[in-house]
Structure 1
Amino acid sequence: MPQTSEGNVHALQYREAKPSQGDPSRPVSELFRLDDLTGATGFLGTTLAIAIFESGADIICLDLFPTPTASNWGEVENAAEKNQRRLSYYQLDVTDENAVAETFAKFIPTLRYPVKGLVACAGLSRNGPATELPASSFRRVLDINVTGTFLVAQATAREMIRTNITGSMVLVASMSGYGTNKGVDTAGYNASKAAVHQLTRSLAAEWGSRVEIPLIRVNSLSPGYIRTAATAEALQKPGMEAQWTGDNMLYRLSTVDEFRAPVLFMLGDGSSFMTGTDLRVDGGHCSW
């Protein structure tokens, strides 16, 4: 998406249906396997895609642009080849309900295995004083961060129900859904990420308790400040980096690779008794 802060969308797919419940006979090494999923591009998205390949999955990437724009897209392609996985890319505006349905209808027949998961990390932030922020900008943030996340989760759930496959979703929220960020005026972004937290809980309650559909677990990830090209401009403001690093207990910014294990955990069977939960990975920012 334009001006993305996290990345885009990952649809995930397993080789075979597995019961989403504890199994003491399974080795720990298998609890983080994602054998055959589908996923996306962006600062966080490409890093997660590579990790998902290494965990044994196929990946479908969904993004607004006609072709991948990530500077490290070659690394994603190399990871797919190295791990003998399939990589596909489809252009999609996640805020367009009809486009979401059409795109899913286009790629579903090409998959080797049923869809069994989703990583939704499309995100937009429009900064500026709330007294001057146009309503159109505020709506655009909510449309991408909340409506877009809902539409892709909805389409994924419909496919899981159609194939009667249990699955897992990770919706990328933010620590900004818990509080505001010092020195940065992001009222729309903060509100949208709080909405993703509630969307996560609501979808988890609905899709985890209905006996007539397969179990679908839904959790969210709330990253802290990440050092990426998306935050580079804000960090140019005098004193901003010192403030951001001093705002958490580890006194540094995170890097995108530090979110690989949390996402793989929530997608895999290692988190089989976890749903409706937000996993905050913020260096202790919200724990002061």
Structure 2
Amino acid sequence: MSNTADPSFREVKPRHGGPERSTASLFRLDDRTIVISGGAGYLGMEVAGAVLECGGDVVLMDVVDAPPKHAWDQLQLLADKVRRLAVYLKADVTSSENVRHVLDVLVKSYIPHPISGLVTCAGVSDNDPATEFSTERFRRLMDINVTGTFVVAQAVAELMRKEDVSGSMVFVASMSGTVANKGVDTAAYNASKSAVLQLARSLAAEWGSRKGMPLIRVNTLSPGYIMTPATEGALQKPGMKQQWEGDNMLYRLSQPDEFRAPVIFLLADGSSFMTGADLRVDGGHCAW
């Protein structure tokens, strides 16, 4: 049944611009500002560099005082080279007041273009047998991974509504939101990433055609195992690296830079008819 008779919905004009646009332009982010939560991490830094190369400005948010110096210096060199802006702001994604304050300061002081995109890289992983996993640890993990995603998405959506700017959000979920991990006990983490998948679908339904809101597409990216310091602990277990590599069809772990292109695709107009979807980039892990 069509929604056209429902007064809460409105007809949406597509942003892709029509067939006269070049394919290359569908992957550009010119005159757009993209917020990246968890921006001080390996994935956040990789995404930030990709956004800059595609013409966008980036705002990195994280709970630490500053990003790793070498990575930040390299990002600033890239920003200068492509004549774009990269800003880092300390923020706690579990605090809606803190996030709103930081973004308000940002909008007034730093960015030349309205915020029109979000990538939520902020998240933690914790593992132990469920019988030994405390309620406090479970709540902390859910607060960062799920509540933190909602807090930032809500704050950015409010700014986009205020400016009447359409855009795209990419929530970093995980293949662990779809399947359980072999050889490691991560019930809490898996549950949190499954919640992120459902949160994205639900927000996509609200913000895709609701009156009073600009068009905001919301999709998820579900990575497979990534080689970062966060996975080093688990890989110390004898045989774990070989098992994880053998669990996917490419027989290796991924690198953070392999998620640059998928994120850009989801942010840019090349994915203009895609919302409420999950892009799984897992080396074929879930396809066996």
Q: Same fold (TM over 0.5)?
A: yes
Identity %: 57
Residues 175 and 223, structure 2, Cα contact 8 Å, conserved in 1: yes
Q: Which residue of 2 aligns with 1:82?
A: 81
- In the alignment, structure 1 residue 267 sits paired with structure 2 residue 267: yes
> How far apart are 1:212 and its partner, in Å?
2.8
Residues 219 and 278, structure 2, Cα contact 8 Å, conserved in 1: yes
- Give runs of aligned pairs for residues 10-25 of structure 1, distance below 5 A: 19-21=14-16, 23-25=18-20
> How far apart are 1:74 and its partner, in Å?
1.9
Structure 1 residues 19 and 163: CA distance shift in structure 2, 3 A = farther
Q: Which residue of 2 aligns with 1:223?
A: 223
> How far apart are 1:180 and its partner, in Å?
0.8
Alignment match of 1:37 (pick from 33, 37, 44):
33
**1:206-261, Cα deviation, whole Å (9 max, x unpaired):** 00021332100000000000111111121111100110000001111111111111
> How far apart are 1:68 and its partner, in Å?
1.5
> How far apart are 1:73 and its partner, in Å?
2.0
Alignment match of 2:21 (pick from 17, 23, 26):
26
> How far apart are 1:21 and its partner, in Å?
3.7
Tell me how far apart the structure 1 counterparts of residues 231 and 42 of structure 2 sit (CA, whole Å).
10
Q: Which residue of 2 aligns with 1:249?
A: 249
Q: Secondary structure at the match of 2:274?
A: coil
Tell me how far apart the structure 1 counterparts of residues 273 and 192 of structure 2 sit (CA, whole Å).
27
**1:121-170, Cα deviation, whole Å (9 max, x unpaired):** 10111111110111010001100000000000000100111011111000
- Give runs of aligned pairs for residues 146-157 of structure 1, distance below 5 A: 146-157=146-157
- In the alignment, structure 1 residue 52 sits paired with structure 2 residue 48: no
Structure 1 residues 34 and 200: CA distance shift in structure 2, 3 A = same
Tell me how far apart the structure 2 counterparts of residues 53 and 184 of structure 1 sit (CA, whole Å).
36
> How far apart are 1:22 and its partner, in Å?
5.2
Q: Secondary structure at the match of 1:176?
A: helix
Residues 60 and 90, structure 1, Cα contact 8 Å, conserved in 2: yes
Amino acid at match of 1:94: V
**1:59-115, Cα deviation, whole Å (9 max, x unpaired):** 111010112136522221111111111111111010011111111111011210111
State the TM-score, normalizing by the size of structure 1. Answer: 0.91
Aligned residue pairs total 271
Q: Which residue of 2 aligns with 1:103?
A: 102
Residues 22 and 272, structure 1, Cα contact 8 Å, conserved in 2: no
Tell me how far apart the structure 2 counterparts of residues 57 and 277 of structure 1 sit (CA, whole Å).
23
Amino acid at match of 1:92: A
Bigger radius of gyration, 1 or 2?
2
- Gapped runs of 5+ residues in structure 1? 1-17
- Gapped runs of 5+ residues in structure 2? 1-12
Q: Which residue of 1 aligns with 2:4?
A: none
> How far apart are 1:41 and its partner, in Å?
2.1
Q: Secondary structure at the match of 2:143?
A: helix
When the two chains are superposed, the root-mean-square deviation of aligned CA atoms in Å is 1.3
Residues 248 and 284, structure 1, Cα contact 8 Å, conserved in 2: yes
Amino acid at match of 1:32: F
Q: Secondary structure at the match of 1:273?
A: coil
Residues 31 and 270, structure 1, Cα contact 8 Å, conserved in 2: yes
**1:249-278, Cα deviation, whole Å (9 max, x unpaired):** 111111111111100000000000000000
Residues 114 and 163, structure 2, Cα contact 8 Å, conserved in 1: yes
Residues 22 and 273, structure 1, Cα contact 8 Å, conserved in 2: no
Residues 116 and 167, structure 1, Cα contact 8 Å, conserved in 2: yes
Tell me how far apart the structure 2 counterparts of residues 157 and 57 of structure 1 sit (CA, whole Å).
18
